[in-house]
Amino acid sequence: MAEKLMLWLQDSLLMESQQPSVRYQQEWLLVRLVYHHLDLRDRLWDTFEQAREKRSGSICSFIAVAYHVSCVLNDEQEMFVERSVHKILPWCMAQHFSMRLYAQTALLKLFALCKLQHHDQIAEKYAIVESSLQASMAHGNTVKNAQKLQEDFYFSAFHPVEHYTLETVFYDLPRLANITCEEWISTALLKLCGMSRMNHIALENSNIALKQFNAAAWVLKTSTGTEDNGADMIGVHKNVQKKLVPWCSTFPGQDLGSELRQKREEGLIVVASLIDRLPNLGGLSRTCEVFGVSEYVVGNLKYTEDKQFRSLSVTAEQWVPISEVKPQFLSMYLEAKKKDGYTLIGAEQTSNSTRLNDFKFTQKTLLLLGNEKEGIPADLLPFLDVCVEIPQEGVVRSLNVHVTGALFVWEYMRQQALAGTHSNRVHSQEEET
C-alpha cells in the first residue's frame, strides 16, 4: 500500500504543476512515507533523474522532500543528508533561476543542519561548496529572493512530524498557501464535528510556530519555460484562485442536507434519461449540483456507480437529488410533471424553437435533454410546452449535450437570481413606505 501511494505521489508531482496548497500536502505525505518506510528511501533518488527527463520544474518538490526527510530522520541521518547533497548539488547550476535558487537554498539549510547535528565529515567535505554558494547568493536579485525563501515557513518552521495534526492539515497549510479563508477549517469547528476524538492524529499543534507566519509571499515559477533574465522571479500573490464553498453559509449545528433540500424545492428539474454516454451524465450531475438544481433524472441509477460517471461528477451525486426514469416511461413522467404545474421545455432545434436568450423561465421548470445523436424523439415533442434552442454562428450543427445542459441551467439560474433581486428590492421598498 505504501509503495503504491508513493508511486502515485511521485507521478503526480512529476507530471502536474500543482497549486501550492496541493503541492504542500503531497510533498508532506511523501516525506512521511519516506520517513516511516526505510525500503522506500532509495526510490526517492530515482525521481531526481526522472524530473530531468519528464518535467524539470518538479525538481523543487523532490528537493523539498529530501530536505524535510533529512531534518526528521534519527537513524542514518548523516548518510541520508550526504545522499541529498549529492543529488541536489547539480541543480544549483540549473538553467532556470527558480530551480537554482531552490537547490542552493536547500543545500545551505542542509549544511546548517550538519553543523547543528555535528556531522563534521560532511561539513568539512563540502565546505568549499558552502562558501561558494554563500558568495553566489550575495549578489543581485538572488539576495532578496533567497532571503524570502529561507524565511518562509516551509523552510524555517514547518516540521513534518511535530506538525502532523488536523490543525495543520485543515487550517494552517490552507492559510499559509493563500487559499481563500472560506476554506480554512478551525479547530473549533473540528471539535464540533467530533474530530477531537481521533486517536491516530492530534487535533492541535503543541507549539505556535506556524501561527507566527502569514501567507507565503513568494511564488516559484518552476513550470515556465522562460529564460533566466535576472528578473525577480519570486513575487507576492496579488490574486489567488477562489473556490466557492457553499457549506460555509450554513451555521454550525444546522443540518446541511436539510438546508440544501430547502433551497432546491420546486426549482429546475433536469431530465437526462435520453443520454447514454456516462461522461456526459457525470458532467451534467456536477453542473446540476453546483447550480442547485432541484432534481436530476437519469435513465438508470446504476450509471452513478460507474467510474466514468464519477470521474466527471466528483461526488456531485452525493448532494444533488437523483432519480430514475427509463426512456420508455418518459411520456408518463412528463404528463405527471405538467399536472404538478411544471413548464416543460426541450433543448431541441425545431421549426418553432424559441431562442434561449429570448426565453423567460418560470420557477417550476423541467428541462428535457435529447440523446447525443438523435436529440429528442418526435413522439415526445407534443408533451413539451416549448422547444428552446441555443443561437449558433458556427458550421457544426449542435453543441455537446453536456455543454447544452450547462448553458440552459446557467440561464435559468441567472434569471431566477435577477427575479430574486427584484423581489427583494420591491419588498424593501414596501417596508419603507
Question: For residue 236, is it within any domain?
Answer: no
CATH number, domain at 373?
3.40.1280.10
Query: How many independent structural domains does the chain possess?
Result: 2
pLDDT of residue 250: 44
Using an 8 Å Cβ cutoff, are 387 and 352 in contact? yes
- Pick the last residue of a domain from 153, 188, 212: 212
By residue range, what is the domain housing residue 269? 257-423
Residues 309, 397 within the same domain = yes
Confidence of residue 219 (pLDDT cuts 50, 70, 90): very low
- Locate cell 549578489: which residue? 139
pLDDT of residue 249: 47
CB atoms within 10 A of CB 344: 20
CB atoms within 10 A of CB 156: 12
Question: For residue 79, is it within any domain?
Answer: yes
Question: For residue 205, is it within any domain?
Answer: yes
Please check the confidence at residue 225 and state whether its pLDDT lies above 60. no
Q: What is the phi/psi pair of residue 118, to 5°? A: 60, 40
- Locate cell 500536502: which residue? 25
Query: What percentage of the chain reaches a pLDDT higher than 70?
Result: 85
Please check the confidence at residue 324 and state whether its pLDDT lies above 90. yes
Mean pLDDT of 177-205: 84
Mean pLDDT of 371-379: 92
- Pick the last residue of a domain from 150, 178, 212: 212
How far apart CA 347 and CA 324 sit, in angstroms, is 20
- Pick the last residue of a domain from 151, 180, 212: 212
Using an 8 Å Cβ cutoff, are 218 and 20 in contact? no
How far apart CA 241 and CA 50 sit, in angstroms, is 30
Question: For residue 385, is it within any domain?
Answer: yes
Please check the confidence at residue 262 and state whether its pLDDT lies above 60. no
Grid coordinates in use for 131? 562558501
Question: For residue 189, is it within any domain?
Answer: yes
Q: What is the phi/psi pair of residue 24, to 5°? A: -55, -45
Mean pLDDT of 230-245: 47
Please check the confidence at residue 20 and state whether its pLDDT lies above 80. yes
pLDDT of residue 254: 44
Over the chain, what HEC string results?
CHHHHHHHHHHHHHHCCCCHHHHHHHHHHHHHHHHHCHHHHHHHHHHHHHHHHHCHHHHHHHHHHHHHHHHHCCCCHHHHHHHHHHHHHHHHHCCCHHHHHHHHHHHHHHHHHHHHCCCHHHHHHCHHHHHHHHHHCCCCHHHHHHHHHHHCHHHHCCCCCCCCEHHHHHHHHHHHCCCCHHHCCCHHHHHHCCHHHCCCCECCCCCCCHHHCCCCCCCCCCCCCCCCCCCCCCCCCCCCCCCCCHHHHCCCCCCHHHHHHHHHCCCEEEECCCCCCHHHHHHHHHHHHHCCCCEEEECCHHHHHCHHHHHHHCCHHHCCCEEECCHHHHHHHHHHHHHCCCEEEEECCCCCCEEHHHCCCCCCEEEEECECCCECCHHHHHHCCEEEECCCCCCCCCCCHHHHHHHHHHHHHHHHHHHHHHHHHHHHHHHHC
Please check the confidence at residue 259 and state whether its pLDDT lies above 50. no
Grid coordinates in use for 328? 420508455
pLDDT tens-digit readout, 341-358: 999 999 999 989 999 999
Give 8's Cβ-side CA count (13 Å radius): 8
Q: What mean pLDDT is reported for the chain?
A: 84
Residues 158, 299 within the same domain = no
Question: For residue 244, is it within any domain?
Answer: no
Residues 8, 97 within the same domain = yes
Residues 198, 310 within the same domain = no
Residues 198, 84 within the same domain = yes
Cα separation values, 401 from 129, 347, 361, 376, 389, Å:
61, 9, 20, 11, 12
- Locate cell 422547444: which residue? 387
Please check the confidence at residue 142 and state whether its pLDDT lies above 90. no
Residues 164, 301 within the same domain = no
Using an 8 Å Cβ cutoff, are 356 and 408 in contact? yes
pLDDT of residue 72: 92
Query: What percentage of the chain reaches a pLDDT higher than 90?
Result: 52
Residue, of 423 and 212, whose pLDDT is higher: 212
Rounded to two decimals, the pTM is 0.54
96 Rama class: left (phi>0) / alpha (psi -120 to 50) / beta: beta
Question: For residue 232, is it within any domain?
Answer: no
Go through the chain and tell me how many residues it has: 433
Residues 176, 276 within the same domain = no
pLDDT of residue 80: 93
Please check the confidence at residue 276 and state whether its pLDDT lies above 80. yes
Question: For residue 227, is it within any domain?
Answer: no
Q: What is the phi/psi pair of residue 387, to 5°? A: -105, 135
* Sheet arrangement for strand 295-298: 322-324, 295-298, 268-271, 365-369, 343-347, 386-389, 354-355
Residues 55, 116 within the same domain = yes
pLDDT tens-digit readout, 32-62: 999 999 888 888 998 898 888 888 888 999 9
Residues 289, 396 within the same domain = yes
Residues 263, 376 within the same domain = yes
Q: What is the phi/psi pair of residue 386, to 5°? A: -160, 150
Residues 197, 298 within the same domain = no
Residues 309, 396 within the same domain = yes
